[in-house]
Structure 1
């Protein structure tokens, strides 16, 4: 079945580039373009696209204002086309909070990997977006905030979280339910360089925890969460009796860098049964193998349930391969992790 896309951007060049890239494989059709949200509103009514690509800076109405209205009145999959700047990263994260499925960094003359790599990534994100249950997500009622206590967690414990499409909001939900005294948390979210710093800063604003981008050889401390840097693998190692972050740019794993598999595999090796792990929303299978290694090493593992996941891909594969002890709605995952940590203390 062909995926119908509406491209919304005030730049004629960008509209042309996106249309050319999207239609290359034949399974995606650009049914129309719009130069601003006013025109886009009419085109959506006329053309009923499956997915919309949306710029942020446009005349007549800001893309974020349009997105907010669209998700409230006619929820549909939206992929943001963002500028790779600090301001662009902040606006992109806000767009994801408002309901956008995913984003791509707007191509430029010095785009890493060239336009072919950009086009392949864009097409994959459009395909993923077309499969998402945006309408279901829009009507879900977020559960009340749960009081979670992890003060009983033993020293040496660690929490590992992995996610992809939809993960920005899922990770926020988990972390805002975690108390300031929890064991260190390491996070691999599929996100390019230039965006992970702002993602960590946004989480830091919202959470009781201290959230930062991970730095190489950084000791992992209680009450802190560490986000893998875009274009870097994050691993955990034990050195001089202390858990530390290690960053590297070795080859892609499971198609990604950062890779959830790489992080989880290192946690299984360095932390073993003292770890707990969660795999959240995302397309593909990254994380399933690593989470299975964690479970085999004695760690408690949980996967986001299908009903609460924007994209039930990574959690589904992990479940099917026996990598998760149980599945749970995203708003209950913090409590599940905390309870497992308390059981670790009791066992010790």
Structure 2
């Protein structure tokens, strides 16, 4: 679908891939509104049906709060994510586009994290190794010529954010557990011996499931929660830094960009800062307000694609639970009439 592009472009973005429903509004790269609401399970992890119900309940009001200007298009996270959550966001975006008489712009959630990081830090897209760490993803990504974004390394099982949250639940910490686990690890201090943990790096990939199992066994034996939390972070983060350092050496890139919710962890950023200084490369991190899932990043990516004419009619809306970082949902949906 193609139309004449307005000189000034306002895009509404809807994010609904997991526990957070977010709505953002941007005008030619400038943030006008950013509202979000997170589903917080009473116990355990995310239950897809409960998260979808939450999104359905809070979504319309968040859209109303964010839409302080009439958008020229509605962007939405079309993939990857939890199916029931994606469905809620897609249907709301479709309904809104129909009511406003504007096109839809489908966005790859993972690419959106990269693009908001580049936009807010001034990173050079062709000179950056991106470290994408969240509850559902742990990937080392860089652009590779005409192939675009390529994954150079990733977790072989659970994502780093998921591993941190799972360990936090073992300790009785409420969701989201990562930030609370970080505070627990800080209480252990930096003196004293570091507990041994499995360190699983296989080439450019890594694994966290064995480390999590080992940590739960240590807790069952009566080991201090603070010491276990500290050891878990130190080993898990060191593995990620090691794989990233290899990617920097292999690609010759001059910048490392940290994106995703887990990069709000201060210790993680400190370890990357040290590695980057030693290698003589620049370390950049997305601002905290755009690190976790949010509507602004979807709106920004939608704005970039809208300017290229990558638009759909509302009836072409769709979503995909799985999608790699080098895939565009627009390309898969544009042929549907």
- Normalised to the residue count of structure 2, the TM-score between the two structures is 0.30
- Normalised to the residue count of structure 1, the TM-score between the two structures is 0.30
> Normalized per residue, which structure has more helix?
2
Which protein, 1 or 2, shows the higher relative CO under an 8 Å CA cutoff with sep ≥ 6? 2
